Chains A and B, each alone.
Chain A
Amino acid sequence: MATATKNPGYVVNLGEAKKEADSPLKIAVRRFFKHRMAVTGLFLLAFIFLYITVGTLFFSESYANSPSSVRTDYFQAPSERFILGTDQVGRDVLARTIYGGQISLMIAVTSITIAISLGTLIGLVSGYTVGTRYSWIDAILMRIVEALLSFPTLILLLILSQSFARSTATINLLGRELSATVLAIVAVIGLTGWMGLSRIVRSLVLSLKEQEFVVSARALGASDIRIIFAHILPNCIAPIVVSATLGIGGAILTEAYLSFLGFGVQQPTATWGNILERARDDIDRYWWLWMAPGFLITMTVLAINFIGDGLRDALDPRSTK
């Protein structure tokens, strides 16, 4: 049975061999769209994106964030008026999940951008200095990476957020007022998420810089900076893209964890994490308080993991699919 199912893969591989003229990007895109889970993930993500963008046309942010002044609005089960019900202080859960989703995704994307930049940069520098007279840079950087990897991420995150989050103000971002804890969380997730990637990039650099095209570039007198950014970096893109994608899913979860432990984004700014956190006091009676944010978090992370999986398969030159 196992051998039978392997055959189609073999056939696909033959088919690809025929179209040798295609660029690697085209091949990757084609492979990606053949990946059923990845496409499902893409659809899911598109739906969630629509949910958090189109939703803002119907509700204002201050509607989402202000407690109701009418007592009978508190703890309302889903109804025609409040499709997803209301929370402990009468805020519309639907509106809050819409605006909360924006913040959650924003936090995830920005923090992963930081983590990826940091990880790539450190990986490149570290890998490139191995075997040169600057190899002590590599030694120090890698000890830092190993030391940071020896701390449990959550504990690192909590210590950092405790020291960051307590002394910050509110910020104005694109006309929206947000608790500055948003920035603190972004920084904290960004600063704790780069170590894995820096190791991957470093090992890639180590093997790439012995390859002919790099050796010849160096022989032709190309500068170190040029070699790193023009020759080595482009060849590291695949793992970077994959870990960025998976990292975004992880960051959404991380934000939820921090919120759950009371170190997350401050009220009244909503995030999926802190909506869910407030729901736990009333888990059995007020099921609608955790269903919606819980479902949205799971769906989004699931979609991103699917896409990440698809990307990994599509970008892996050894993949047979």
Chain B
Amino acid sequence: MGAYVLRRILQAIPLLVMIGVMTFLLIRALGNPLEELRNDPRVSEEEFFRISSIRGYNDPLPLQFVNWVIGDDWMLRDIDGDGVGDVYGENRGIIRGDFGESDRLNKPAAEVIGSKLPNTLLLGVSAYVVTIVFALMLGIFTALRQYSVLDNIVTAVSFVLFSMPIFLIALLAVYIFAVQFRLAEITIFGNEIQLPYFPVQGMQSLPGRPNAGTLTDRLWHMVLPVTCLAAISIAGYSRYIRASMLDVLNSDYIRTARSKGLPERRITFIHALKNASLPLVTLVGLDLPFVLGGAVVTEQIFGWDGIGLLFITSLGTLDTDVLVLLVLMIALAVVIFQLLTDLFYAVLDPRVRYA
């Protein structure tokens, strides 16, 4: 087992290198943030050379990559254009934890991302939990009642949700739950009752309002964004669970269990679910790290101050260091989760050999 773990980790190294190269190339493809200085007549050629040199843009691309990884404080930079190195670089490189500064906010890139990450995780992980709970319920139920009316309805709704852009779902949700609910008044036993409506903006009620910032208030603000995020995933996941449940329920050992006269409930939950949930673990392990990328669209619609919004703004102002760290962070999380999923699977499924 130890050897297997070690081998899987070693296998991840070339992948990490490739991720590093691609991140670097991707961000460089966006363009040089110093470009607008080049045309500026008040920035002399010498000055431009100096700035480009300090930022490393005068180096050949492979060297830029090396310096980006290990830093450039080991090499003398030529800042006056005479071909002789003058000062040492100041960048310590990503492997020494120097992710650079946000040009836009003049703060370390790591700090900028760190301040938005909790918000994104809150939204993403909640949506994930909701997804799995509902997907399991629906998946198992529809597998047990295959081709029943409810199964057909769930199937149809899943297909429709799956075919909708998430912002259409979000806009519909806003339209129905925030706008129409508020306008609707229903009369019950002679009392006019206002339908509850959900907030569509921000992460909590404004300070100074009753309940502002309390747990329930935050939950209340999460309802719409989480629902929208979960809606699409539930559609996909429940189909997946239904399929793997059906696979298992039709297998020989379940038939054996039935013939032994085990109670149906026990068969479903102990024998079938346990085996059907293995592929689910894989799916979750592979999907979960992408939560870090933030729900770009959902965050935009609901004014959720997370990674997704940060990404869009940074892209607009070519805030390269923030973009690099963001992309790198997600890719790294994906690799780590892949590794964990594999190991987890190896532990759970005796059929996986460490060969």
Contacts and interface: CB of A to CB of B under 8 A. Distances in A.
Nearest to A158: B315
Given A2-B144, A302-B160, A280 B167 contact: yes
Interface string A86-114: 00000000000000000000000000000
Nearest to B296: A154
A69 to B, nearest CB: 30
A152 B30 contact: no
Interface of A is mostly: helix
A184 interface: no
Nearest to B155: A37
Contacts of A152: 290, 293, 330
Interface string B299-334: 011000000000110010000000100110011001
Nearest to A284: B179
Interface residues of B, number: 49
Listed residue (B164, B166, B301, B335) with the most chain A CB atoms within 10 angstroms of its CB: B164
B88 interface: no
A294 B30 CA distance: 32
B265 to A, nearest CB: 15
B14 interface: yes
Given A146-B15, A150-B19, A162-B315, A298 B164 contact: yes
Contact of A256 (B30, B165, B300, B301): B165
A198 B182 CA distance: 50
Listed residue (B163, B175, B312) with the most chain A CB atoms within 10 angstroms of its CB: B163
Nearest to B30: A163
Contact of A260 (B22, B162, B165, B334): B165
B269 interface: no
A294 B162 contact: no
B149 to A, nearest CB: 12
A158 B145 CA distance: 42
B40 to A, nearest CB: 20
B211 interface: no
A199 to B, nearest CB: 13
Contacts of B231: none
B334 A150 contact: yes
A305 B18 contact: no
A276 interface: yes
Given A253-B165, A260-B297, A301-B163, A2 B18 contact: no
Interface of B: 14-15, 17-19, 21-22, 26-27, 29-31, 144-148, 159-160, 162-168, 171-172, 174-175, 179, 249-250, 290, 293, 296-297, 300-301, 311-312, 315, 323, 326-327, 330-331, 334-335
Q: Which 5 A-B pairs have the closest CB atoms?
A: A301-B163, A152-B293, A302-B163, A150-B331, A147-B18
27 contacts: A6-B250, A143-B14, A146-B15, A147-B22, A150-B330, A151-B22, A152-B290, A152-B330, A155-B311, A158-B296, A159-B26, A159-B27, A159-B29, A160-B26, A162-B315, A256-B165, A257-B167, A257-B297, A260-B300, A276-B165, A294-B165, A297-B165, A298-B160, A298-B163, A298-B168, A302-B163, A305-B162
